[in-house]
């Protein structure tokens, strides 16, 4: 008999650490920045996984709800039972991608955009985010100072003592190809590369 | 620990003790800060080396910790764990044991991995195996793991002794009113790893008070800046960080802060940039006379106290002008030098926002 979704969640250390029999008090929801502005209730996520019901957990994995969390982990500080709904969400998100259930929700499908920005930046530049990739069109909140900075990056960064696109140490240095190769090998060894390939394949199929 | 008691109420103030190494630091750089506040990344090294006389190593082989991708929900736990293990391997190979990340997200993740390995020895073994298989490297956990703001906190008295000014108004001599904002992942995940814990974090408040300022206590003081990771990265969801940061501005406004200081690169960015967005979209500004409230990193605050030039600190890269604060502090600066490039190169100026005064 194949493993249940709950059994698979239990294999994630964050789920193990995050769930210690919730008493349903709702402090996590009262304190949650996502609950302040979204129709989102971390308490109900914990209540749902505690039912152990396969179809209920599948519903979470296929829905938008688990993608609302901002992972600030304010819930960890406040829970009187030392639960961490944020950790449970992390485990649910991971399982949603691994099972392919993320494809069923709008928010889940948005994850390809994350993969193509911060995910790909890591392997391309060795940084999660990188000046050259952050345009004013995609990030209008950066304001006109960002435009000026990007257009004059070499001169501005040199004035500030940085080593932009230089070899060796320093702020904004180029990460060497050997170091980038090690990152890629880590991605291969730990399943990130396979996960990224699957996400791209699905997105191409969808189009 | 200090305790104040009286007959009617019993107030316990716990000052969490935290071991902060005295010297020989392995500096783990922040992606956000290198890109958005590069002057602060450099100022930290300068303060540690030149002012405090400590040894700090800046390793060219280090990379991102991968934390933003991890908290956006696209990277497996094992991937980030192994990237972290590689950073620790590099530290030991360079001959260091005291690891100091400048990013609060990174600090949370490094701490999360160490805590996981300490509680689950099998996962520690797995991390070793994965790192060996992918890079051939071996690693151990650091002897001391603290955030870079902890280092400045530790030496706040030494910095005060060498300071050129206090955080007071040049005309009245009164302490400036300061909003201190602590990044969530500094102490909310593992309160015992933050100075003062999650409830009464002292890391920034300690600096502000030691250097002559006054800390404002306002209702949403401990609310998240709103980064929300994927909620910011995905453009359609960016109302999440904007709304949460606005909540904080509305809450602090009545207290009339002279400036905001944060210990998290993301928080500095959001508290600065969303003021620009709110001004341009709603016509609302939170500072005096149409300006915003200046938002500083703790190195910028320390740098000003030590007499550094604001433009050498990179404060021209803020969208909210810092000049109202410089004027209150009585700092002399040359406006004509603000937007110069390297060696005084003339590279033009940013376009002025329509509403927000700069």
User: Taking CB atoms and an 8 Å cut-off, how many pairs form between chains A and B?
Assistant: 248
Residue with tokens 């793991």: B145
Q: State the burial class of residue B190 (Cβ atoms within 10 Å of its Cβ: 0-12, 13-18, 19+).
A: buried
* H-helix segments, chain A: 5-10, 13-18, 27-30, 33-37, 42-50, 54-62, 74-78, 85-99, 106-109, 111-114, 120-125, 144-151, 153-159, 177-190, 192-206
Neighboring chain B residues of A166 at a CB cutoff of 8 Å: none
Per-residue CA distances from B307 to B54, B164, B185, B322, B324 (Å): 20, 5, 30, 15, 17
Please give the backbone phi and psi of residue B178, each rounded to the nearest 5 degrees, phi first: -125, 130
Q: Which residue of A has its CA nearest to B63?
A: A126
Residues A161 and A179: their CA atoms lie apart, in Å, by: 23
Residues B326 and B313: their CA atoms lie apart, in Å, by: 13
Residues A90 and A55: their CA atoms lie apart, in Å, by: 19
Closest CA to B342 of A156, A170, A173: A156
Q: Per-residue pLDDT tens for A54-65?
A: 999 999 999 999
- Residue B240 has its nearest CB partner, among A37, A152, A183, at A37
Residues B302 and A33: their CA atoms lie apart, in Å, by: 31
Q: Per-residue pLDDT tens for B90-129?
A: 999 999 999 999 999 999 999 999 999 999 999 999 999 9
Q: Per-residue pLDDT tens for B188-215?
A: 999 989 998 888 899 999 999 999 999 9
Residue A159 tokens read as 């004035």
Q: Which residue of B has its CA nearest to A82?
A: B189
**Pairing label, strands B177-181, B214-215:** parallel
Closest CA to B262 of B223, B310, B307, B309: B223
B294 Cβ under 8 Å from any chain A Cβ? no
> Which pLDDT band holds residue B15 (cuts at 50, 70, 90)?
low
Mean pLDDT over B303-322 rounds to 98
Closest CA to B249 of B269, B291, B229, B278: B278
CB within 8 Å: A161 and B243: no
Q: Per-residue pLDDT tens for A126-147?
A: 999 999 999 999 999 999 999 9
Residues B243 and B255: their CA atoms lie apart, in Å, by: 20
Per-residue CA distances from B54 to A147, B41, B49 (Å): 37, 16, 5
B75 Cβ under 8 Å from any chain A Cβ? yes
Neighboring chain A residues of B83 at a CB cutoff of 8 Å: 183, 186
Domains and CATH numbers, chain A: 5-109 (1.10.1060.10), 115-206 (no CATH)
Q: Per-residue pLDDT tens for B317-332?
A: 999 999 999 999 999 9
> Which pLDDT band holds residue B12 (cuts at 50, 70, 90)?
very low
CATH topology of domain B25-146: Glutathione S-transferase Yfyf (Class Pi); Chain A, domain 2 (1.20.1050)
B254 Cβ under 8 Å from any chain A Cβ? no
pLDDT of residue A1: 61
Domain spans, chain B = 25-146, 159-344
Report the phi/psi class of residue B319: left, alpha or beta, with left for phi > 0 and alpha for psi in -120 to 50. alpha
Q: Per-residue pLDDT tens for B52-96?
A: 999 999 999 999 999 999 999 999 999 999 999 999 999 999 999
* Shortest alpha-carbon distance between residue B16 and chain A (Å): 15
Closest CA to B323 of B296, B342, B351: B296
Q: Per-residue pLDDT tens for B127-180?
A: 999 999 999 999 999 999 999 999 999 999 999 999 999 999 999 999 999 999
Neighboring chain B residues of A128 at a CB cutoff of 8 Å: 31-32, 64, 66-69
Q: Is the ipTM of this complex over 0.95?
A: yes
pLDDT of residue A207: 78
Residue A5 tokens read as 């979704």
pLDDT of residue B8: 42
Answer whether A28's CB lies under 8 Å from A88's CB.
no
- CATH architecture label of B159-344: 3-Layer(aba) Sandwich (3.40)
User: Which H/E stretch holds residue B2?
Assistant: strand B2-5
Rg of chain A on CA atoms, in Å: 20
B128 Cβ under 8 Å from any chain A Cβ? no
- pLDDT at B2 exceeding the cut of 70: no
């Amino acid at each position: 008999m194949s493993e249940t979704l709950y059994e698979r969640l239990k294999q994630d250390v964050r789920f193990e650490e995050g769930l210690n029999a919730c008493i349903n008090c709702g402090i996590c929801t009262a304190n949650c920045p996502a609950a302040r502005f979204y129709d989102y209730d971390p308490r109900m996520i914990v209540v749902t996984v505690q039912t152990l019901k396969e179809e209920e957990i599948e519903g979470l994995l296929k829905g938008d709800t688990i993608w609302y969390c901002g992972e600030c982990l304010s819930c960890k500080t406040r829970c009187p039972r030392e639960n961490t709904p944020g950790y449970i969400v992390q485990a649910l998100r991971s399982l949603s991608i691994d099972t392919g259930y993320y494809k069923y929700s709008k928010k889940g499908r948005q994850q390809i955009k994350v993969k193509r920005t911060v995910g790909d930046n890591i392997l391309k530049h060795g940084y999660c985010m990188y000046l050259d990739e952050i345009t004013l069109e995609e990030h209008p909140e950066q304001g006109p100072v960002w435009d000026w900075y990007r257009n004059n990056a070499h001169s501005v960064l040199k004035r500030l003592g940085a080593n932009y696109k230089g070899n060796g140490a320093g702020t904004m240095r180029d990460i060497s190809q050997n170091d980038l190769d090690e990152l890629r090998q880590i991605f291969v060894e730990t399943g990130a590369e396979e996960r990224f390939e699957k996400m791209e394949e699905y997105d191409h199929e969808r189009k | 620990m200090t305790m104040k008691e009286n007959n009617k109420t019993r107030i316990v103030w716990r000052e969490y003790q935290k071991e902060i190494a005295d010297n020989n630091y392995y500096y783990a750089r922040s992606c956000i800060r290198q890109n958005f506040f590069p002057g602060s990344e450099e100022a930290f090294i300068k303060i540690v080396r030149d002012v405090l006389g400590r040894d700090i190593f800046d390793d060219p082989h280090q990379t991102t910790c991968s934390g933003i991708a991890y908290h956006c929900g696209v990277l497996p736990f094992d991937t980030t764990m192994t990237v972290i293990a590689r950073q620790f391997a590099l530290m030991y190979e360079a001959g260091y044991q005291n690891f100091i990340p400048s990013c609060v997200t990174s600090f949370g993740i490094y701490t999360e991995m160490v805590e996981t390995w300490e509680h689950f020895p099998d996962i520690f073994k797995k991390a070793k195996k994965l790192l060996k298989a992918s890079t051939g490297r071996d690693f151990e956990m650091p002897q001391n793991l603290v955030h870079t703001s902890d280092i400045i906190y530790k030496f706040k008295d030494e910095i005060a002794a060498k300071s050129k000014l206090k955080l007071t108004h040049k005309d009245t001599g009164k302490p400036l009113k300061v909003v201190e904002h602590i990044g969530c992942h500094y102490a909310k995940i593992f309160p015992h790893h933050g100075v003062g814990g999650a409830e009464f974090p002292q890391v920034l408040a300690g600096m502000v008070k030691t250097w002559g300022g006054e800390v404002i206590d306002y209702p949403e003081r401990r609310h998240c800046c709103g980064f929300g990771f994927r909620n910011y990265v995905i453009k359609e969801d960016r109302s999440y960080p904007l709304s949460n940061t606005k909540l904080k501005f509305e809450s602090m406004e009545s207290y009339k802060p002279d400036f905001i200081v944060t210990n998290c690169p993301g928080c500095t960015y959001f508290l600065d940039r969303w003021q620009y967005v709110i001004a341009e979209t709603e016509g609302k500004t939170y500072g005096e006379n149409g300006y915003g409230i200046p938002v500083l990193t703790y190195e910028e605050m320390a740098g000003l106290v030590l007499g550094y030039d604001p433009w050498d600190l990179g404060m021209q890269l803020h969208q909210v002008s810092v000049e109202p604060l410089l004027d209150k502090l009585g700092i002399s600066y040359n406006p004509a030098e603000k937007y110069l490039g390297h060696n005084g190169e003339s590279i033009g100026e940013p376009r002025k926002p329509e509403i927000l005064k700069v």
